[in-house]
A and B are shown apart, each in its own frame.
Chain A
Amino acid sequence: DSGVTQTPKHLITATGQRVTLRCSPRSGDLSVYWYQQSLDQGLQFLIQYYNGEERAKGNILERFSAQQFPDLHSELNLSSLELGDSALYFCASSVGVGQGAGNTIYFGEGSWLTVV
């Protein structure tokens, strides 16, 4: 158990709908990262927040948005869903924002999203 909690674990929704994925980082971690993993695809970096502020952006679609709240939990909002958005969405957290000896990133178990 990494200490990163993601909900829901599984979600099935229809095209055109909107969903919200939630992440609680490990206690004490200020950074939250979101990754997308489609079937047989690698882990695609979407976005990173540190203490409520966006710090890095990857290949995140305009239909997707994220935020980190004052209590440090984060939400990833996916709207106007398409079949191709079906994927495993991972949240990860770390203490700091940069890379360093103590800034290991720990991953949650993911949220499976199926768009039908």
Chain B
Amino acid sequence: DAKTTQPTSMDCAEGRAANLPCNHSTISGNEYVYWYRQIHSQGPQYIIHGLKNNETNEMASLIITEDRKSSTLILPHATLRDTAVYYCIVRVGGTYKYIFGTGTRLKVLA
């Protein structure tokens, strides 16, 4: 059922931008891409979502390719507290299932 592909892990130096890619090649035209993160075993935390245009909020920026088959979450100035597992999710087409992939384990290094 998983419809997203993400790198298993990434490292980022503190203060630098963290760019986390996600492939969602089977996304339908009216489906949004959502990003969440999970710090340790806490509940997943909503970060940002988008449909076609690039989006930015106080936490991150989301860049979606023109064909919408992939996206990149950007944490502009990563801090140690950003160390977490980051998930991008899309809805399974024609259903109400929101399936999480394996996510990217981001480690921010001091």
Interface residues of A (CB under 8 A from B): 2, 4, 33, 35, 37, 42-45, 48, 50, 55-56, 58, 88, 90, 92, 97-101, 104-110
The reply to whether A42 and B43 form a contact with Cβ atoms under 8 Å apart is no
Interface residue total, chain B, C-beta cutoff 8 A: 26
CA gap between A88 and B101 in the complex, in Å: 17
Interface residues of B (CB under 8 A from A): 1, 31-32, 34, 36, 38, 41-46, 49, 51, 87, 90-91, 95-103
Give me 18 A-to-B residue pairs in the complex whose CB atoms sit less than 8 angstroms apart, sorted by A's number: A2-B43, A35-B100, A43-B44, A44-B100, A45-B97, A88-B41, A90-B43, A90-B44, A98-B96, A99-B31, A99-B90, A101-B32, A101-B49, A101-B51, A107-B44, A107-B45, A109-B42, A110-B41
Residue of B nearest to A41 (CB): B102
- Report chain A residues within 8 Å CB of B31: 99
CA gap between A43 and B86 in the complex, in Å: 12
